[in-house]
Amino acid sequence: MTDRSIAVQGGTLHAVDEGAGPTILLLHAGIVDARAWAPVSERLVRAGYRTIAFDRRGSGRSVTSDVAFSNREDVRAVMDALGLERAALVGNSIGGQIAVDTAVETPDRFVALITVGASVGGHEPEPTTQEAAMFEAMEALEETGTPDEVADFDVRAWLDGIGQPETRVPAAIRDAVREMARANGSRDRTTGRPIPLQPRAAERLDALTMPVLAIAGALDVSDVTATAHHLAACVPGARALILPDVAHLIGLEAPDRLAAAIVELLSPLAPWI
Tens digits of per-residue pLDDT, 203-234?
999 999 999 999 999 999 999 999 999 999 99
The residues of the chain scoring below 50 in pLDDT are none
Q: Could you give the CA distance from residue 73 to residue 79 in angstroms, rounded to a whole number?
A: 10
pLDDT number for residue 83: 95
**Start-end ranges of CATH 3.40.50.1820 in the chain?**
2-125+188-266
pLDDT number for residue 270: 86
CB 92, CB 118: distance < 8 Å: yes
pLDDT number for residue 1: 85
CATH hierarchy code of domain 2-125+188-266: 3.40.50.1820
pLDDT number for residue 142: 85
Q: Could you give the CA distance from residue 112 to residue 94 in angstroms, rounded to a whole number?
A: 18
Smallest Cα–Cα separation from 249: which of 209, 215, 208? 215
CB 116, CB 251: distance < 8 Å: yes
pLDDT number for residue 272: 87
CB 238, CB 100: distance < 8 Å: no
Q: Could you give the CA distance from residue 63 to residue 70 in angstroms, rounded to a whole number?
A: 14
pLDDT number for residue 49: 97
